[in-house]
Amino acid sequence: MSKIIYWVHTSVDGFVDGPNGEFDWPVLGPELSAYSESLDEGVGTLLFGRPVWEMMVGFWPEAESLSDDPHTARFAPFWRATPKIVFSRTYQGDMWTSRVISANLAEEVSALKADSAGDMLLTGGAGLAAALTELGLIDEYHIAVHPVVLGGGRRLFAEPDHRKNLRLVDSRTLDGKVVVSHYTLAT
């Protein structure tokens, strides 16, 4: 059975983007980049909600020509080569989309977990992660808290219908400023 790993950046006040959708505040230093890249090991599929997908597909296909950042140079080939599933009720997909899932979230994701080769990495966003959390389908949470107060935007977990107890596996400070906590569902 494959795991779903949720990797997300958030502000101290719990937002995944700013009041106008801005995502210019996460800074990946060498330690945070290495942590992010370590999550890719064993991943066979990338998962995205539509808002994050639109941001990703606007950058990663040609990332090396847009940035000389070492993390970009290492992640871009992995991103291009790995199958990508987008969750959306209205999006039809594009040349970078391996599959679009638009309905039956619990059934479709449970089937993916049973049939996928390798784990699945859900990167960023809030809506899809909240829905999968409510369904108990996320196995690991890796939350990077950046030293910024955004004052608005999309909340990390919006308004959950009920409590989900998590178990802290590890927490560390990376690059002297970002706290990354790794959680699993409490049993």
For the chain, what are the domain ranges?
A: 16-185
Scored b (16 or more CB within 10 A) or e, 11-46 reads beebbbbbeeeeeeebebeebbbebbeebbeebebb
b/e per residue 96-120 (b: at least 16 CB within 10 A)? ebeebbeeebeeebeebbeebeebb
The string over 52-83, giving b where at least 16 C-beta atoms fall within 10 Å of a residue's C-beta and e elsewhere, is bbebbbeebbebeeeeeeebbeebbeebeebe
Whole-structure pTM value: 0.94
Q: What is the pLDDT of residue 117?
A: 85
Nearest to 157 by CA among 2, 12, 15: 15
Q: Is 162 exposed, middle or buried (0-12, 13-18, 19+ CB in 10 A)?
A: exposed
In this structure, what is the dihedral angle of CA atoms 180, 18, 164, 128, given to the nearest 10 degrees?
Answer: -110
Give the integer Cα–Cα distance in Å for 118 and 187.
Answer: 23
Q: What is the mean pLDDT of residues 32-48?
A: 96
Burial classification of residue 123, based on how many CB atoms lie within 10 Å of its CB (0-12 exposed, 13-18 middle, 19 or more buried): buried
Question: 116 φ, ψ to 5°?
Answer: -75, 145
Nearest to 145 by CA among 10, 8, 53, 1: 10
**What pLDDT does residue 18 have?**
95
Average pLDDT over residues 152-175: 90
Residue scoring higher pLDDT (21 or 145): 145
Give residue 177's identity as a one-letter amino acid code. K
**What pLDDT is recorded for position 186?**
84
The domain defined by 16-185 folds into: Dihydrofolate Reductase, subunit A (3.40.430)
Confidence of residue 40 (pLDDT cuts 50, 70, 90): very high
pLDDT of residue 110: 95
Q: What is the pLDDT of residues 88-101, one digit of tens each?
A: 999 999 999 999 99
